[in-house]
Amino acid sequence: MARDVLDVLLEMRQRGEPYAVATVVETVGSASAKVGSKAVVGPDGRVVAGWVGGGCAESTTCDTALRCMENGESTIIDIDLNDEVLGAGMPCGGSMRVYVEPVLPKPVLWILGHGRVAECLCQLGDLMGLEVVVDDPLATRERYPAAARLIDDDFDYGALQPGPDDYVVIATQHKGDHESMKRTLASEAGYIALIASRKRSRLVMDYLASEGVPRADLDRVMAPAGLDLGARTPEEIALCVISEIVLRRRHGSGAPMRNKLAEHRPAAVAKS
């Protein structure tokens, strides 16, 4: 029994799975799919629901959907149904255009700890489009209104399960930060940061090294966390950390935009 596209979209969104929606936006000549036909392509590159045409038209769309899910960019593909060799291999006597849009789950920002820096991190993380999870016994909705999830009974950080695209910021303020760091390093987290002074960061890293934590794991940790913006207040410290996260997420250079503009400015022509 065919599954309704909207039902499948809702299910995949609730499960936090990546997927792509393919929509036929134009057809010319004889094409089996009609304008407006849709298909949902799952993370394995297979059609989960809907239909945009059979045979190689479907395989072309699925291949494109996989690439879109990898790079996060939408695209429009032209599928030639006339040429068996160079086109889609379906001599139907027409062509079609398909718009492929990836839908990716939000990266999760895990905040371990509490305090004003953690509260500001929660606000900024939500503004940056991250799904914020606060894991701390003192976490309350009043303190973290923007959090998608609050965990206040996870004393051994067993609920901490970040994925490779997620971010973990440890703001425990010296209370068991070395233990929370051990748990974090055992995960697949793509970004791990410790909010602490230079001295405290060094003490934590030295302790972990003495406990046998491999150097390769220690090198994953941004300690102290954040970019050097000369921050002094909790709000500014939170901005430094979020700036580093955005830099990682968007693959920025960290250079001033003025310098980037100068790189593309045409050289001045000398006057004779």
Q: Please state the rounded mean pLDDT for residues 97-116.
A: 94
| Average pLDDT, integer, range 238-245 | 97
What pLDDT is attached to residue 62? Answer: 95
Q: Could you report the per-residue pLDDT of 178-205, keeping only the tens digit for each?
A: 778 888 998 999 999 999 888 988 988 9
Grade residue 238 by pLDDT with cuts at 50, 70 and 90: very high
pLDDT band of residue 175 (cuts 50, 70, 90) is: low
Domain boundaries, the chain: 5-103, 108-250
Q: Which CATH architecture has domain 108-250?
A: 3-Layer(aba) Sandwich (3.40)
Examine the pLDDT at 239 and tell me if it is beyond 70: yes
CB atoms under 10 Å from CB of 47, counted, come to 17
